[in-house]
């Protein structure tokens, strides 16, 4: 089981507004908050972290499909002591909100799990290297789903002890001006619009006929050319 930790937001004073996103404060998170704020003012595109005490989730939105890759560090995160806890953390990382209903990821589509020794090189974080002579101990759950709706919302469940750094390789996150955002318990993403398939332009009948004629003429030329070559050799 994943150990829980107390989250008291009232003692901090509500909400801190950053240039890139809005994030409710937490007393254990001031160092990271300062770093994020500083990077935002400097116009930086990447976060820098000394340890991974949160989950990393890469979001990719494609026509009629959503892909999430959620990674847990069970070798360096004190809240995730082993691979079994990492699997539980990934499975409980998000709820999907659609049509007034709330569902877990695996209720919509099973996740495929794989162990990794390196962080995704395109992630917006600079993780500390593992201890000398060791490798990272990472578990990644890959979730691919074809929604039956044109929009969904992702959210971290209430009382979830693990924050989630959500990021994308798309131009930016849906509803955001940034490529990443940090979600804590009870927080949701803006609405994620599922792109419809790109319609193919209809082919004009005349173009189809012309294309068929060109192919037929080319094939006829090849046949005649082959016969002429065989006649010369004979």
Give the tens place of pLDDT for each residue, 53-69: 789 999 998 888 899 99
Dump pLDDT digits (tens) for 97-121: 988 899 999 999 999 999 998 888 8
Residue bearing the bigger pLDDT, 49 or 197:
197
Does 7 fall in a domain?
Answer: no
Residues 153 and 229 in one domain: no
Residues 155 and 218 in one domain: no
d(C-alpha 176, C-alpha 155), whole Å = 15
CB 153 within 8 A of CB 125: no
Torsion sign (Cα): 179, 129, 39, 190:
positive
Report the domain count for the chain. 2
Residue bearing the bigger pLDDT, 183 or 218:
183
H or E element in which residue 154 lies = strand 151-155
Q: Which domain holds residue 233?
A: 207-234
The stretch 183-208 carries a mean pLDDT of: 75
Measured in Å, how far apart are the chain's first and last C-alpha atoms? 84
Does 166 fall in a domain?
Answer: yes
The stretch 70-99 carries a mean pLDDT of: 93
Residues 150 and 218 in one domain: no
């Amino acid at each position: 089981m994943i150990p829980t930790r107390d989250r008291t937001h009232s003692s901090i004073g509500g909400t801190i507004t950053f240039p890139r996103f809005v994030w409710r404060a937490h007393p254990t998170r001031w160092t990271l908050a300062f770093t994020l704020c500083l990077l935002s003012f400097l116009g930086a595109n990447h976060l820098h972290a000394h340890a991974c005490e949160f989950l990393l989730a890469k979001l990719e939105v494609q026509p009629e499909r959503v892909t999430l890759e959620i990674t847990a560090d069970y070798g360096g995160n004190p809240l995730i002591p082993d691979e079994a806890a990492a699997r539980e953390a990934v499975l409980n990382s998000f709820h999907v909100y659609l049509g007034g209903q709330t569902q877990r990821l695996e209720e919509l589509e099973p996740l495929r799990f794989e162990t990794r020794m390196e962080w995704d090189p395109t992630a917006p974080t600079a993780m500390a290297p593992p201890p000398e002579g060791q490798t990272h101990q990472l578990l990644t759950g890959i979730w691919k789903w074809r929604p039956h709706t044109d929009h969904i919302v992702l959210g971290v469940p209430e009382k979830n002890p693990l924050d989630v750094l959500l990021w994308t390789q798309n131009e930016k996150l849906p509803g955001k001006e940034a490529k990443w955002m940090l979600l804590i318990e009870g927080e949701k993403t803006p609405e994620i619009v599922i792109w419809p398939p790109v319609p193919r332009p209809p082919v004009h009948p005349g173009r189809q006929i012309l294309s068929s004629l060109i192919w037929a003429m080319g094939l006829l030329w090849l046949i005649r050319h082959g016969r002429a070559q065989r006649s010369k050799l004979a």
